[in-house]
Structure 1
């Protein structure tokens, strides 16, 4: 039983090879007539290798590549072995007789060459790849705003008529603008930044000067009026205080003699009354 089973498997394998070979159109795709009623092939059909250059039958001049082999050269005498993707690679597209295997790289990595024969670290913005298949930060004075690309130098200066508003860094170039985002007094500087050859409209400045001057004069008048009013108010208060002080002094001057001499007058009155009484008593006696 075992020899029969082995023979059956061999027959199936052979038939599968024949079917795969039959799926590909064999032979020469472009030929010319040669000597002695022969034809000479100039291009084999895709997936075929050249067997012989000239012969009586153009279909026998080229033969399909075997499985796991391929060729992209129309007049190649041999087929190449299909590439095997290895970790960290993975297979994107399987190999066939006319194209090689297409490999890819896992996330965070990218192909190191056009054929993706190896993977390298994927460099982000602000970095650039090195010959050692690693990444490094952009040197000072350069930037990179793309994924896995080389760093580029900063722009040296802004175009004419523009000013620098932001310095460059590892991720972006310098930034320039025509606008000046500052307060009103800097409008004079904005006029100076206009391109050479263009004149400013001086007439548009005079209305602003008039408005500013009028507002300043109005404020000065208000301040002067307030000062005069406060000064007059202070003088009137000082006069009132001085009058009150004089009145107080006068009252004090009149009250002090009365309070000082009154006791003496009372004493004098009492002594006189006593002397009178004594004299009258003497006369009676």
Structure 2
């Protein structure tokens, strides 16, 4: 079974994001790391590999040179190989352009399952997995809180947003996005860092994928950011700081202001 895991290197959002003059995110302005939901996707692929011996896991990312760190983390976690899609023309690509590139890479690698995080910490659109599936012409099982890979079908359990669980089943090939509710991901052993050094990271450009540079980047994107303003009201986790009584009062006020009470 060939599993491709789509991963992303995201900047820390603790102190907000920094933007360039063209309003794209400056990805090396501060600490960065593997997107949390993508970490879960890598972990889920490894759990499939534990139950089956014929699994080949390839991690794929798209981004500037620093994005390779996400691939190194995936390799340390247990992925077998990695592909870094890197090209200056990709700068500023929106979800549509990104899905075009990722789908081309997945198609070139060959796949049975494509796993990815349901959302990314820096944009939170949750749209790329379904877009990739559409471009590949395969089913998309999105927002999986639980993943069960059987011999000839895959089953996911998903919260429908109203407190009920829904079960969806499809046959590979397919694209699956997982949430952080899939379970606490496993952390690598120290020796895994040394093992990962011998695992290959291939670097592909747009020419490798046969994609016209005019179809990606800022010029090839359908979505354009016109303005970016800081979020007002301070950090949301500040509501939970302090003694229990004051926290309860702030939380009640917060909900009342938004007509939740």
Per the normalisation by structure 1, the TM-score is 0.16
Q: Scaled by the length of structure 2, what TM-score is found?
A: 0.17
Task: Tell me which structure has the larger Cα radius of gyration.
Answer: 1
- RCO comparison, higher one (Cα < 8 Å, 6+): 2
Which structure has greater helix proportion? 1
